[in-house]
């Protein structure tokens, strides 16, 4: 018996990790149109929020410095994108948990494939999936009067921020999905956590309308800094006269947030996955 390294294939471990990750990603994407309910539900939920806030509550939420009633819709849409992408954590957690409980992960773990591929394949597929949802939402946004008023590079920079955010949230989902016993729990936990976080932010209301003690929390919330970044990049209204770094340099703070989320949750998720059934 030849004694090769135990961690990966002889030679090209990284190459195998890449190709195995792509195979798993392809598998996850093949499943999307076969379970259309998932994507439809995600899109309907977001569109419901668009209509609820654009046409029901929006009129009652004044934007300081923007008397035009249309301004609120321009204000709203970047926040809706961020809120929707935040749910990437739920999508990943549910998918991960289902694969574990149905035994697919055990099958993968018994194969001579790169150990990382199940997680990289999952998170990368979920980023692709979220970008599809994003396209539908942007078209909806255009219909209700949202638009990008800057340049194509700035538009693309915003999109990239959103996709990196999806990747970060997806790693939170990996950790969550490997930690909870059932898909139902994964779903409940992610909804209970993500909804309040997106509400205590600048997504739906300007920060100055919040009580004083809550303002700094909402201001430093990564949901807020990302939303503020998008509004800045795309020339959408963003009325908050804050003087903290989170308000003056939202893009920088957002990137730091991304690094923190990935730095914490990717290792946590990988560790949980490795020690599963040990």
Partner 1 sequence: MNAISAEGLVKVYRSRKSEVRALDGVDLEVPEGTILGLLGPNGAGKTTTVRILATLLRPDAGRATVAGFDVVKQAQELRRVIGLSGQYAAVDENLTGRENLVMFGRLYQLRKEEARHRASALLEQFELTDAASRVVKTYSGGMRRRLDLASALIGRPRLLFLDEPTTGLDPRSRLGMWDVIRTLVREGTTLLLTTQYLEEADELADTIAVVDHGKIIARGTADQLKADVGGARVEVIVHSRDDIGRAREVLARDLDGECTLDEHTRKLTIPAHGGAQALAQVVRDLDEAGIAIDDIGLRRPTLDDVFLSLTGHVAEEPIDDDSAPDTGGKAA
Q: How far is the CB of 98 from partner 1 (least distance, A)?
A: 10
Choice between 107 and 271, CB closer to partner 1: 107
Residue 195 CA from chain centroid, whole number = 13
- Where do contacts with partner 1 occur on this chain (CB under 8 A)? 1, 3-4, 6-9, 16, 20, 23-24, 27, 30-31, 34-35, 100-104, 106-113, 117, 181, 276-278
Choice between 73 and 122, CB closer to partner 1: 122
Supply angle C-alpha 130, 235, 196, rounded to 5. Answer: 50
Choice between 102 and 149, CB closer to partner 1: 102
Choice between 108 and 199, CB closer to partner 1: 108
Choice between 63 and 180, CB closer to partner 1: 180
Q: How far is the CB of 121 from partner 1 (least distance, A)?
A: 10
Q: How far is the CB of 50 from partner 1 (least distance, A)?
A: 30
Q: How far is the CB of 82 from partner 1 (least distance, A)?
A: 29
Q: How far is the CB of 109 from partner 1 (least distance, A)?
A: 6
Choice between 3 and 192, CB closer to partner 1: 3
* Token pair recorded at residue 22: 């792509």
Q: How far is the CB of 264 from partner 1 (least distance, A)?
A: 22
Signed CA dihedral, 216, 220, 221, 224: sign only: positive
Q: How far is the CB of 40 from partner 1 (least distance, A)?
A: 16
Choice between 35 and 48, CB closer to partner 1: 35
């Amino acid at each position: 018996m030849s004694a090769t390294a135990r961690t990966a294939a002889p030679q090209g471990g990284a190459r195998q990790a890449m190709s195995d990750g792509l195979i798993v990603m392809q598998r996850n994407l093949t499943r999307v149109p076969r379970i259309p309910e998932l994507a439809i539900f995600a899109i309907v939920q977001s569109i419901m929020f668009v209509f609820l806030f654009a046409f029901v509550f929006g009129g009652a939420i004044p934007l300081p410095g923007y008397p035009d009633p249309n301004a609120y819709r321009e204000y709203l849409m970047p926040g809706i994108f961020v809120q929707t992408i935040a749910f990437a954590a739920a999508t990943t957690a549910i998918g991960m948990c289902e694969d574990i409980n149905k035994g697919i992960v055990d099958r993968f773990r018994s194969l001579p494939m790169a150990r990382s591929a199940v997680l990289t394949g999952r998170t990368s597929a979920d980023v692709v999936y979220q970008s599809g949802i994003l396209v539908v939402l942007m078209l909806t946004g255009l219909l209700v009067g949202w638009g990008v008023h800057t340049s194509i590079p700035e538009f693309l920079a915003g999109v990239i921020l959103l996709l990196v955010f999806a990747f970060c949230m997806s790693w939170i989902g990996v950790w969550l999905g490997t930690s909870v016993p059932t898909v139902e729990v994964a779903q409940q936990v992610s909804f209970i956590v993500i909804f309040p976080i997106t509400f205590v932010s600048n997504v739906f209301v300007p920060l100055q309308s919040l009580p004083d003690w809550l303002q700094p929390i909402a201001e430093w919330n990564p949901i807020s800094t990302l939303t503020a970044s998008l509004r800045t990049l795309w020339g959408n209204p963003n009325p908050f006269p804050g003087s903290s770094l989170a308000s003056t340099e939202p893009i920088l703070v957002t990137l730091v947030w991304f690094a923190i989320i990935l730095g914490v949750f990717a290792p946590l998720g990988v560790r949980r996955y490795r020690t599963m059934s040990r």
